[in-house]
Amino acid sequence: MGSRPAQQFADPFHVIAPTGYAVMQAQVAQGTATAAAPLLTVRDVSVVFGGITALNGVSFDMQKGQVLALIGPNGAGKTTLFNCLSRLYQPSAGDILMDGVSILTRPPHRISEIGIGRTFQNVALFPNLSVLDNARVGAHSHTNSDIISDSLRLPRSRSVEVAINKKVLRILDYLELTHLAHTNVAGLPFGTQKRVELARALATDPTILLLDEPAGGLNHEEVYVLGDLVKRIRDERHITVLLVEHHMGMVMKIADHIVVLNFGRKLAEGTPKQIQNDPEVLKAYLGDTAK
Ligand SMILES: Nc1ncnc2c1ncn2[C@@H]1O[C@H](COP(=O)(O)OP(=O)(O)OP(=O)(O)O)[C@@H](O)[C@H]1O
Ligand SMILES: [Mg+2]
């Protein structure tokens, strides 16, 4: 958040790796593939808190299958935009469209129905519930079972439960959490708790996964594993990912497209290579020494 000390980047943009999406972009550029309509459109979004303009007319598109990273120095407006996408904040102006339809009329607890799943920067799990039960919370956000049929354990409810358990156990297996299924999350290491959050978000069957600083608090090895996992989620589960992240090594390695915010405005957007060579971006991160 704004109070955090500015991060130091001796060499902020040092890792680049082409991805499947980058290959597809090249095909579009060569005319061997056709560009699709964007999955998500952020259009002229502004957010004002009292006298502070946290976001000022920000626009960009996110394509299906992309890993899009939202980066920028401290206080740039990344979390504010993330919270608009997950419907925690209402923009003062502008619109956010998914498949061409505004999401701004939808309350936050109903965004999973349209396929938007999220994790939280500081991990928001139920500490005294097991890994399995925490992940099941995500799957429940999608069922039609109501509290009365649940408590009476009516047949429809039981079959829904069986289906949910099966699905969630498959997700735990995918994230290598099966051995912890019946362990309370409270005592688990932070990196493992973040994976449980990911399991809960995947259990909502998202089309778009919003990740808020997933590498925050992880060690070098954990960040490497996480980056790989995010790429696999996109490639194997065909989920589009929007990532707010300070860890430039991870961003440059896994992002197809990067949007850079600075002082609430979009400073630049492009491929990792374009962004790491953009003098304005370097100046924003490194100050005048980058001139
Ligand atoms: N709820 C709020 N009320 C008032 N001002 C806020 C609020 N949330 C954010 N701001 C302000 O809006 C601006 C953008 O903040 P935001 O948290 O979106 O930045 P950020 O890019 O996520 O920064 P960081 O990298 O430090 O997390 C900052 O000036 C911040 O102080
Ligand atoms: Mg933030």
Tens place of pLDDT per residue across the chain (291 aa): 344 444 433 444 444 444 555 555 555 556 555 567 999 999 999 999 998 999 999 999 999 999 999 999 999 999 999 999 999 999 999 999 999 999 999 888 888 888 998 887 666 788 889 999 999 887 776 555 555 555 566 665 677 788 888 999 999 999 999 999 999 999 899 889 989 999 999 999 999 999 989 888 888 988 999 999 999 999 999 999 999 998 999 999 999 999 999 999 999 999 999 999 999 999 988 775 544
| Tokens 């808020």 sit on residue | 212
Which residues line the pocket of ligand 1, CB cutoff 6 A?
Answer: 1-2, 4, 49, 52, 54, 72, 74-80
pLDDT (0 to 100) of residue 289: 52
- Name which residue sits closest to atom 6 of ligand 1, judged by CA: 49
Identical topology for domains 40-115+209-291 and 122-205: yes
Question: Which ligand 1 atom sits closest to the C-alpha of 82?
Answer: 18
Q: Are 241 and 249 in contact (CB under 8 A)?
A: no
- Name the amino acid, one letter, at 73: P
Extended strands (E) in 77-169 = 93-98, 101-102, 116-118
Q: How many CA atoms lie within 13 A of 12 on its CB side?
A: 23
pLDDT (0 to 100) of residue 124: 78
Assessment of whether the complete model's pTM goes beyond 0.85: no
pLDDT (0 to 100) of residue 113: 86
- Supply 31's token pair: 């005319």
Packing angle of the helix pair 155-174, 190-202 (nearest 10 deg): 130
Question: Which ligand 1 atom sits closest to the C-alpha of 81?
Answer: 18
Mutation test of ligand 1: which of 52, 244, 267 has the most ligand atoms closer than 8 Å to its C-beta? 52
Q: What is the residue extent of each domain of the chain?
A: 40-115+209-291, 122-205
Distances (CA, A) of 208 to 62, 63, 66, 153, 264: 10, 10, 10, 33, 23
Question: Which ligand 1 atom sits closest to the C-alpha of 77?
Answer: 18
Question: Which ligand 1 atom sits closest to the C-alpha of 76?
Answer: 21
Nearest to 164 by CA among 187, 191, 145, 188: 145
Report domain 40-115+209-291's class. Answer: alpha beta
- Name which residue sits closest to atom 27 of ligand 1, judged by CA: 1
* 269 Cα–ligand 1 center, Å: 20
Mutation test of ligand 1: which of 48, 49, 81 has the most ligand atoms closer than 8 Å to its C-beta? 49
Q: Are 152 and 93 in contact (CB under 8 A)?
A: no
pLDDT (0 to 100) of residue 163: 84
Domain 122-205 in CATH 2.60.40.420? The answer is: no
**Cα–Cα distance, 118 to 6 (Å, whole number):** 25
